[in-house]
Amino acid sequence: MTTTARGARTHYLYLAVIGAVLLGIATGLLFPGFAVELKPLGEGFVNLIKMMIQPVIFCTIVLGVGSVASAAKVGRVGGLALGYFLVMSTVALSIGMLVGNLLQPGDGLHLSAEAAATAHEKAAEGHADTTAFLLGIIPTSLFSALTSGSVLQTLLVALLVGFALQRMGATSAPIITAVGHLQRLVFRLLAMIMWAAPVGAFGAMAAVTGQGGVDALKSLAVLMVGFYITCVLFVVVVLGTLLKVTTGINIFALLRYLGREFLLILATSSSESALPRAIAKLEHAGVDKTTVGVVVPTGYSFNLDGTAIYLTMASIFIAEAMGTPLALGEQVSLLLFMMIAAKGAAGVTGSGMAVLAGGLQSHRPELVDGVGLIVGIDRFMSEARALTNFAGNAVGTVLVGHWTGGIDRARLDRVLAGEEPFDETTMLDDHAPQAEPERVPQPV
């Protein structure tokens, strides 16, 4: 089959995803009871994607770290990435506080007993301390890190394996080759799974629309619309300006290149569903394996711009709705705690509400009941959180690559201009020639 024919097939796939999203919304509005029963379709597809995340991260980091000659480059990339994440999270936190205090959308809402009970359930899920978070990064065994479901555990083990391969020198070549073949297998499996995307998108959108409906949006429209506008302005104005001034790259060109990933996140409400594709597409765009392998997985836990905006605006909203507005000092203290508690929760639908409830439980227990006020619209806000987190990580990867010299800028420009399209059928960067494996004679 020709490359053009394969590209056309994947184009139709994503047209089918768009159609499935629209059909899911219509089903949810017309047949809400039936639509809610379709939720397992969306959950099943997201679980298929999440099944592949840890193998993708492991292979990418091992190849990226193990193939470079010096560990100093990995340390420089990681240090720059963490510094950038800290600054941007602070900016997002400040913007959320500013908008939340300006809008003051919490007046006139009433809390039901059922909503208060739901809020306490979320608080139990989200309550955790920093020590437990740090200890949770260490897996129970070397291999359990690949099956635990924790991105941070996989990141730690993959970095250790990569550094060990560096120390092995030339003797590590067969292992690196084997990991490279494993990566090709993993991405081929992922490309196959993507053909189930329309079914997953239909089930996810039908369930959320059927469960929330139009009524759930009316009384909370100010908060939701304000949050969406804030996220858009953050991506376009803050991230776009930083990207343009630093690298000369237009934010809209980068977002257009990652358009299918944004569509996938919108359909599933989980930024984690697009993580493997983000790794593949950023490598294809000319960002080196080391930068992509370190920055993207780390960003999914430490660079949560959308979640930071959500936590600030939702906290201020709840405090006002409960009649006990937060003083500026209380806002800063509470939200800094929530930013720490949020690490590692990226990509999980509904995790933002659990972090919000857990933070309120620790600092202002009397406000926990108020989390029930936003249950009806949390899924819609979850989509904006996930989209903003994903955009922030994509921009962050390009910026760190630019600062560390880890980008082939000529290739990046060609890819963003559409001159070198991404191979959707394999999700692998095959622009470099691959050596044929040596054939060993078999005994007769």
Annotate 65-101 with b (16+ C-beta within 10 A) or e (fewer).
Answer: bbbbeeeebbebbbebbbebbeebbebbbebbbebbb
- For residue 404, give both structure tokens: 């560390």
Average pLDDT along the chain = 75
Q: What is the pLDDT of residue 257?
A: 92
How far is the C-alpha of 384 from the C-alpha of 390, rounded, in Å? Answer: 10
Residue carrying structure tokens 């990681």 = 78
Residue 46, pLDDT > 80, answer no
Cβ count near 199 (within 10 Å): 17
Residue 342, pLDDT > 70, answer no
More confident residue, 72 or 74: 74
Mean pLDDT of 387-395: 90
Q: What is the pLDDT of residue 240?
A: 93
Residue 110, pLDDT > 50, answer no
Residue 284, pLDDT > 60, answer yes
Residue 397, pLDDT > 70, answer yes
Provide the 3-class DSSP secondary structure of residue 323: coil
Q: What is the pLDDT of residue 72?
A: 64
Where in the chain are the domains?
3-416
Q: What is the pLDDT of residue 111?
A: 46
Mean pLDDT of 270-292: 83
Q: What is the pLDDT of residue 112?
A: 45
Residue 389, pLDDT > 80, answer yes
Cβ count near 365 (within 10 Å): 11
Mean pLDDT of 263-285: 80
CATH class of 3-416: mainly alpha
Dihedral (CA of 81, 131, 117, 364) sign: negative
Residue 428, Ramachandran bin (φ over 0: left; ψ between -120 and 50: alpha; else beta):
beta
Relative orientation angle of helices 151-168 and 173-193, to the nearest 10 degrees = 150
Mean pLDDT of 91-112: 69
How far is the C-alpha of 296 from the C-alpha of 48, rounded, in Å? Answer: 20
